[in-house]
Amino acid sequence: MIFRGLLIAALLLGPVNPSWAQSPLVAELESFATRYHEDPPRLDKLREGLAQAVKAEPRVENLVALARVCFIWGDIRAADRDQKLEAYDQGREAAKKAIELDPKSAAAHFWYGTNTGRWGQTKGVLRSLFLLSTVQEEIQAVLSLDPKFAAVYSLAGNVYYEVPGLLGGDLNKSEEMFRKGLELDPKYTGMRVGLAKTLIKKGRIAEARRELQAVLDEKEPWNLADWMMKDSKQARALLESIKDKP
């Protein structure tokens, strides 16, 4: 499915903006985003609190934080498709407003592209093709603003992986994006899962197994919550799916 596995990425999260420390809620999310597995219901309060903060003070850092927590909430807390769509839509709208306030915010562009992509995946392939150009534009914006923004390479790699070739999909570019991201952050386990999926699709099973085993063997993942709740589970499932392949 188009945009499937984003971030995951995504949960794949952007770099810290020093100004976020001015807001207790933003600072709390920055800390909690890598350990939300400890208390998932806490995401409910963070999302609601940031939504109220944006209404009272629509600063860029508040809007970006809201976009970020909406993505996590949609992946982790949403009970059904409608709740997911609502969360991702709220996230992309928040990120879009952040871009209007600060067009040079790489994080705002990233979360706009990521929430848009996930919304499209959840909505369905045929209904999401019109969003592809938007996601691609946001990827290019982030790369232009901050080439060392590791998470964007996961987003790009997944788009190249999922999109049909006639519409711009390219497994070689997918592999290239994932590998560039891993050069920046070797402990980004969601990125490594994406690389393994690409290698499987290219028929390089032995290499894929090594990448998946590396995910399971990682002792210090960049995002422990993502590793616990998504990446390790997906790695095990993929290893099981290819166990009989030569």
Average pLDDT estimate for 93-119: 97
Length of the chain: 246
Q: What is the pLDDT of residues 107-157, one digit of tens each?
A: 999 999 999 999 988 887 656 778 899 999 999 999 999 999 999 999 999
Please say whether the dihedral angle defined by the alpha carbons of residues 150, 151, 152 and 156, taken in this order, is positive or negative.
positive
5-14, 69-78, 139-148, 224-233: least confidently modelled range: 5-14
Q: Record the tokens describing residue 108, joined without a space.
A: 């705002």
**Which CATH class for the 7-180 domain?**
mainly alpha
Give the residue-averaged pLDDT of 156-161.
Answer: 93
* 22 confidence band (pLDDT: 50, 70, 90): low
Give me the DSSP letters along 130-167. Answer: GGHHHHHHHHHHHHHH-TT-HHHHHHHHHHHHHS-GGG
Mean pLDDT of 98-107: 98
Secondary structure of residue 222 in the 3-state scheme: coil
Backbone angles phi, psi at 203, to 5 degrees: 85, 10
Q: For residue 3, what pLDDT band results from cuts at 50, 70 and 90?
A: very low
